[in-house]
Structure 1
Amino acid sequence: MAVCALRAECRAAALARSFTDAQLNRWHAGQEVADAALIVVSELVTNAVLHSGATGVSLRLDRTAEEIVIRVEDDGTWRERTTAYRDDQAGQLAENGRGLHLVHAHATDYGVHHTLVGTCAWACLPWPRSER
C-alpha cells in the first residue's frame, strides 16, 4: 500500500502521477499497467480537485496478486454532472467530460461513494499474470 496526501490545487494531478509512477516502478509494474494507472489516477484526482470543492485529496494505491486498487478520497462533496456526455463532433472535441469514460475503459471495476468526510472514487486495474 502507498498513500499520498495532496492539496486540492491545479498541480495535484501531476504530483499524483509522479507519486504513482514512482510506486509502480518500485512494484515493477509493466508499461501497460503503468500507463493505465496513470490515466486513471489523473482523471480521479482531477475530478476531485475540479468538481468536489475539496481542500485536500488523498491518493491510495493497493496492490494484490491480481489487481491494483486506486482510491482517491477528498473532503468535498461529489456533484453529478448536469450535462450528459455527447458523442457528436462538439463532444469529441471538448476538453472536459470524458474522465469517467477513460476510467471505465481501463478499469475492471470502479465507483464513487460518499464517506463521512467527503467522497471516495476508486478503480481496480488488472495486474497481469506475467508481473506477479
Structure 2
Amino acid sequence: MVMRAHERGVRDARRFTAAVLARWGIHGEEADAAVLIVSELTTNAVQHGGSDLTMTLALVGNTLRVDVTDYGGPDPRPKAAEADECGRGLDIVGCLASRTETARGVWGLRVSAEVGIRESGRPVRF
C-alpha cells in the first residue's frame, strides 16, 4: 500500500490491514496487535518522514510481517517513558511484536515488525 504522509493515510492503513487480516482468517488478539503495530509505524512515518510511504503485509507460515518505509526523516528512537502521550510508539511495537528491525538505505527508512500467528487462513492475493 502506498500512501501520502497524512493522518488519513494512517486510518486507511489500519482499515486495509484489518480487511486483509480478516480475509486471511486472522482475528482476535493477533489481528488487534497487528493493526496497532501498523497504526504506530505509519503514524511515526507520517510525523517524522514527511514523505510518501509504503506499507506491506506478508504472511509466511505463522509469521505476519509488517514493513513501513518512508523516504525521509531521522531514525526513530524509542523514548524513555514520559508524562506526555507522545514518543512511545516504538515501545508499544516492541511489546507487541516478536521481532522488530530498523534499516536505513538509499531508498529511505524501513521499520519492520513480526507477529506470531497461532492459526491462519490461506493468504488471498489482492
Tell me, yes or no, whether TM beats 0.5: yes
The aligned counterpart of 1:116 is 106
Determine the C-alpha separation between the residues in 2 that align with 1:23 and 1:80.
Answer: 27
Determine the C-alpha separation between the residues in 2 that align with 1:43 and 1:32.
Answer: 16
- Runs of 4+ in structure 1 displaced over 2 angstroms? 77-81
2:61 pairs, out of 60, 65, 79, with: 65
Q: Which runs of 5+ in 2 are unaligned?
A: 122-126
Determine the C-alpha separation between the residues in 1 that align with 2:22 and 2:55.
Answer: 17
SS in 1 for 2:11: helix
Determine the C-alpha separation between the residues in 2 that align with 1:80 and 1:40.
Answer: 14
Contact preservation (8 Å) 1:78, 1:118 = no
1:131 pairs, out of 114, 120, 123, with: 120
Identity among equivalent positions (%) equals 33
Q: Which runs of 5+ in 1 are unaligned?
A: none
Determine the C-alpha separation between the residues in 2 that align with 1:115 and 1:62.
Answer: 21
TM-score by length of 2: 0.88
Determine the C-alpha separation between the residues in 1 that align with 2:18 and 2:93.
Answer: 17
Q: 1:74 to 1:110 in 2, by over 3 A?
A: same
One-letter identity of the residue aligned with 2:49: S
Q: 1:48 to 1:94 in 2, by over 3 A?
A: same
Determine the C-alpha separation between the residues in 2 that align with 1:70 and 1:51.
Answer: 18
1:95 pairs, out of 52, 66, 85, with: 85
1:7 pairs, out of 4, 7, 13, with: 4
The answer to whether structure 1 residue 36 and structure 2 residue 25 are counterparts is: no
Q: Cα offset for 1:80?
A: 4.5
Q: Cα offset for 1:12?
A: 1.4
TM-score by length of 1: 0.84
Q: 1:40 to 1:84 in 2, by over 3 A?
A: closer
Determine the C-alpha separation between the residues in 1 that align with 2:99 and 2:23.
Answer: 24
Q: Please identify the structure whose Cα radius of gyration is greater.
A: 1
Matched pairs, number: 121
